[in-house]
Amino acid sequence: MNTPVAVIGAGPYGLSTAAHLRARGMPVRVFGRPMVSWREHMPAGMLLKSTPVASNIGTPQAGHTLRDFCDAVGERRYESDWDIVPVEDFVRYGEWFQEKLVPDLEQVRVVSVDRRAGGFELKLDSGEEFRARAVVVATGLTGFARMPRELAAAVPDGPSPTGPVSHSSQHRDLSVFAGRDVVVVGAGQSALESAVLLAESGAKSVRVVARGRTAVGFGTPPDRQPKLRPETPFGNAWSLYAFTNYASGFRYLPAPTRQFLVRRVLGPLGAWWLRERFVGRVQVTAGRRIAGARVEDGRPVLTLRGPEGRTGELAADHVLAATGYRVDLAAMDFLGQGLRTGITVRGGGPRLDAGFGSSVPGLYFTGLPAAASFGPVMRFVCGTEFASRRLAGAVVRRH
User: With 90 as the cut, is the pLDDT of residue 359 above it?
Assistant: yes
Radius of gyration of the chain (CA): 21
Task: Let me know: does 234 contact 244? Beta carbons within 8 Å.
Answer: yes
For residue 267, give Cα distances in angstroms to 36, 97, 217, 285.
24, 29, 11, 19
pLDDT of residue 228: 65
User: With 80 as the cut, is the pLDDT of residue 264 above it?
Assistant: no
Q: Give me the percent of the chain exceeding a pLDDT of 90.
A: 71
Provide the mean pLDDT of the chain.
91
CB-neighbour burial class of residue 337 (10 A; exposed 0-12, middle 13-18, buried 19+): exposed
pLDDT of residue 95: 98
CB-neighbour burial class of residue 326 (10 A; exposed 0-12, middle 13-18, buried 19+): middle
Task: Let me know: does 349 contact 356? Beta carbons within 8 Å.
Answer: no
pLDDT of residue 227: 72
How far, in Å, CA of 354 to CA of 392, rounded? 12
Tell me the domains of the chain and their CATH numbers: 3-143+325-398 (3.50.50.60), 149-219+269-321 (3.50.50.60)
Residue type, 365: F
CA within 13 Å, CB half, 34: 20
Element (H, E) at 239: helix 238-245
Residue type, 129: E
pLDDT of residue 2: 56
Confidence (pTM): 0.92
Task: Let me know: does 17 contact 31? Beta carbons within 8 Å.
Answer: no
pLDDT tens per residue, range 47-97: 999 899 899 999 999 999 999 999 999 999 998 889 999 999 999 999 999
pLDDT tens per residue, range 179-231: 999 999 999 999 999 999 999 999 999 999 987 666 788 988 888 877 767 77
CA within 13 Å, CB half, 377: 26
User: With 80 as the cut, is the pLDDT of residue 271 above it?
Assistant: yes
pLDDT of residue 198: 97
Higher-confidence residue of 236 and 56: namely: 56
The distance between the two most distant Cα atoms of the chain, rounded to a whole number of Å, is 66
User: With 90 as the cut, is the pLDDT of residue 350 above it?
Assistant: yes
User: With 70 as the cut, is the pLDDT of residue 133 above it?
Assistant: yes
pLDDT of residue 266: 66
**209 Cα distance to chain centroid:** 22
Q: Report helix, strand or coil for 389.
A: helix
How far, in Å, CA of 167 to CA of 159, rounded? 6
pLDDT of residue 101: 97
pLDDT band at 286 (very low <50, low <70, confident <90, very high): confident
pLDDT of residue 216: 86
**336 Cα distance to chain centroid:** 24
